[in-house]
Structure 1
Amino acid sequence: MTEPRPGRPSAEEIERLLVGQAPRFTRSEVAAEAGVPQELAERIWRALGFAQRADDAVAFTEADVSALRRVRGMIEGGLLDEPTVIRMARALGQTTARLAQWQAEIMMGTMLPDEPAEADVDAVLETAQILMPDFEHVLVHVWRHQLAAAGTRLLAIADVSDEPVPTRVPMAVGFADLVSFTRRARELDEKALARLVEGFEARASDVVATHGARLVKTLGDEVLFTAPTPAQAAAIALDLVETDELRVGLAYGPVVPMMGDVFGTTVNFAARLTAIAKAGTILVDPELAAGLDGHDGYVLHKIRRRPARGLGVVQPYVLRRSTS
């Protein structure tokens, strides 16, 4: 482990400050205290993304014991089995790791000068400690709303499917891509590049949310979103290309939802159309074009067929906003 600079807090000090409890147990002791087999406890810690601890390392708190007891209660009550617990833990660990990293970067970037002194770092930690209760409350509040939205989407899909939890569901998929990102990345310094990417992601997130769709993931110069209907996806794409140097590909068809992501030929089709599209252009597949038939506000132009890697020759349509 890298030693902290003189005057800087150690990793142990930061963990104690933010976690709020001093460690009391080794990994075998925390499992025994919670009444959970050690092998299961260690699988949970790995799924959550926690580093492997030495056998004699005192690294676990009363809160860790309480968390394991809750897991034991879920399993013993027949609410969840062990494989489901591990999957849930992995989803929680991966999502909160990204969230925590993002929040820490925002705090450090906002509060620290270019050459921070010891007092500056201490001020960030003190502020974080003060904000922790409010962050925790807002986090749970937002998570409940997002869970309700996810449940509503799944119920809507189940209503039109023969399966209670469909493995393949019809939806619109869109990719929005920043044009000439590689060139622009070479021309910009680190801060300007960060502002470009964050601005693009923020704009995309706002537009997708406004239209009642879902931002699946961001990939720096590209975002992936899904929408229940072709019309919603088209509205998102048209709003995006109005304000940014973007190109967008849209496709409609069955997708496989898995681990918060989406997979399948429809996703690949949208990605290939994005790669074909020119700056400021939206390309859509025939299925999505057909889904817009009869909707006011959209104009579609069939263009020549193009080869698309892995999909053969495809028929794209250019989507524009109607001026009538």
Structure 2
Amino acid sequence: MTGAVDAVERFLLEGTPSLTRDQVLEQSGVDEEVAEELWRWLGFPQADHDDVAFTPLDVASLRQAVELVELGVLTEDRQAALVRTWGRSFARLAEWQTTLLADVALEEGVGDPVARVAELAEEVLPRVEALQAYVWRRHLVSAAGRLLAVDTPGSPAAPLAVVFVDIVGYTSRSKSLDEAGLVGWLEGFESVCTDIAVEHGGRVIKNIGDEVLLVADDPAAAAAAALAMVERGADEDDPFPQVRAGMAYGEVVSRLGDVFGPTVNIAARLTSVARPGTVLVDRGAYEALSGRTDDEAGTEADEDDGVGDPRPGTDDRPYRFRRVRRTSVKGYSRLQPWVLRRAAG
């Protein structure tokens, strides 16, 4: 076991650990307090002064961090949040990838599985690293396009459609599944949600247990994705679970890959009160999709105004809305929702 771990470590760190913490600091020229803070934020285990736990790769990485500070990218107010995000994200990714390699080694059933993990690391990880770099670059292109498309590039707030999709009956279903079955069921749910979101021009922000949070620049894209998921869940022959969804449209603060603000909160609250198999939308989403204001929709509850989307170029996405009674949810009193449905035909 130790030999395999050492082999993986040598490969990943580009050599056998040969440096102590003090030697890394001396060779990199980075202040000890700054280096320790970076290591802590990244989630690395703390090493004693005499522990030989580092390689020249650690020296180069600290120098690069200092260069980013000098370029004004890693300013003091951004540094902690950015590095913590790196640490959390890569820690989760590394845990999953290590588990994947171990599973492959065990499935093969040939020779020593521990030694096979070390062999697979050398064969597989360079390709994974290259693919990760490619995926990262593609997402940079997409993120840059969204950022530069707004009127005030660099502003943390921009109009977005936010959708939460929640599994109906998750608690009771999860009790009937073993660990592997539960993981497979949730992964299937998340995979379908991601496919539908991307297909309709949206993007998944995160998975929260039995719930998925997605956003889209175009409210019509978000509505189409939410309705597609609800319709999949209503099909008894489809293994996709029954779901309910809440959608809101308005200013959203985006930070480090997550989204915040009242629009996000309202979408979450609407999901919590939506009936199984329905999509509830807020006033902002209703007005964006229908082209009508709340006042033009009338004041009667349970009104079906049958409004299509009159905006040029969107006639192929007609909707119907049923105004339901105002509801009070945490943080919002008398929230006005509408049930979103596709128009017949």
Displacement after TM superposition at 1:82 (Å): 4.5
Deviations 1:235-290 (A, max 9, x none): 11011112231111101111222222111111111111111112211111111011
Contact 1:300 1:317 in 2 (8 A): yes
Cα distance 1:131–1:117, how it changes in 2: closer, same or farther (>3 A)?
A: closer
Quote the residue 1:144 is aligned against: 137
Distance 1:53 1:197 in 2: 38
Cα distance 1:82–1:11, how it changes in 2: closer, same or farther (>3 A)?
A: farther
Alignment of 1:232-271 (within 5 A): 232-244=221-233, 245-271=242-268
Cα distance 1:82–1:263, how it changes in 2: closer, same or farther (>3 A)?
A: closer
Amino acid paired to 1:48: L
Quote the residue 2:344 is aligned against: 323
Distance 2:20 2:2 in 1: 26
Amino acid paired to 1:168: A
Amino acid paired to 1:256: V
Displacement after TM superposition at 1:37 (Å): 1.2
Distance 1:206 1:221 in 2: 17
Quote the residue 1:3 is aligned against: none
Deviations 1:39-83 (A, max 9, x none): 111111112211111121111111111111222233345554344
Give the structure-1-normalised TM-score: 0.89
Alignment of 1:256-295 (within 5 A): 256-293=253-290, 294-295=308-309
Quote the residue 1:202 is aligned against: 191
Contact 1:27 1:60 in 2 (8 A): yes
Cα distance 1:167–1:81, how it changes in 2: closer, same or farther (>3 A)?
A: closer
Quote the residue 1:167 is aligned against: 156
Distance 2:72 2:272 in 1: 48
Answering whether residue 97 of structure 2 is matched by residue 103 of structure 1, we say yes
Distance 2:212 2:288 in 1: 22
Contact 1:32 1:38 in 2 (8 A): no
Quote the residue 1:181 is aligned against: 170
Amino acid paired to 1:271: A
Quote the residue 2:325 is aligned against: 304
Displacement after TM superposition at 1:13 (Å): 5.3
Quote the residue 2:20 is aligned against: 26
Displacement after TM superposition at 1:314 (Å): 1.3
Amino acid paired to 1:309: K
Distance 1:10 1:252 in 2: 52
Distance 1:174 1:135 in 2: 31
Quote the residue 2:297 is aligned against: none
Amino acid paired to 2:183: A
Contact 2:147 2:153 in 1 (8 A): no
Contact 1:35 1:72 in 2 (8 A): no
Amino acid paired to 1:311: Y
Distance 1:315 1:84 in 2: 38
Quote the residue 2:238 is aligned against: none
Displacement after TM superposition at 1:102 (Å): 2.3
Give the structure-2-normalised TM-score: 0.84
Answering whether residue 224 of structure 2 is matched by residue 230 of structure 1, we say no
Displacement after TM superposition at 1:307 (Å): 1.9
Contact 1:8 1:121 in 2 (8 A): no
Distance 2:44 2:232 in 1: 41
Instruction: Tell me how many residue pairs correspond in the alignment.
Output: 313
Cα distance 1:167–1:17, how it changes in 2: closer, same or farther (>3 A)?
A: closer
Deviations 1:19-39 (A, max 9, x none): 332111111210110111121
89-98 or 276-285: bigger deviation: 89-98
Amino acid paired to 1:55: H
Contact 1:252 1:266 in 2 (8 A): yes
Displacement after TM superposition at 1:138 (Å): 0.7
Amino acid paired to 2:212: V
Secondary structure of the equivalent of 2:95? Answer: helix
Contact 1:171 1:252 in 2 (8 A): yes
Distance 1:77 1:218 in 2: 34
User: Gapped runs of 5+ residues in structure 2?
Assistant: 234-241, 291-307, 310-316
